[in-house]
């Protein structure tokens, strides 16, 4: 688990926890590099978007 707020679990995705983190002062790496959990996952690594595209998606997700 690479997520600083443990947003992914067996119970699902903790949207508000993730959003709060991405919008907050500690969310800089998530904002610029994309989701840390997704980037740590070895499945689909060859299909990962480049950091600038991930940053765009995170900004849209967080409405920044």
**Integer-rounded Cα radius of gyration of the chain:** 11
Mean pLDDT by 10 residues, the chain (64 residues): 94 96 96 94 93 96 92
**Number of CB atoms found within 10 A of residue 14's CB:** 16
CA separation for the pair 39, 1 (Å, rounded): 11
- Supply the DSSP symbol for 48: P
């Amino acid at each position: 688990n690479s997520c600083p707020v443990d947003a992914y679990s067996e119970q699902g995705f903790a949207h508000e926890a993730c959003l709060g983190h991405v919008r907050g002062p500690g969310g800089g790496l998530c904002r610029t590099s994309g989701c840390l959990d997704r980037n740590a996952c070895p499945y689909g690594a060859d299909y990962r978007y480049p950091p600038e595209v991930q940053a765009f998606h995170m900004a849209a997700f967080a409405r920044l």
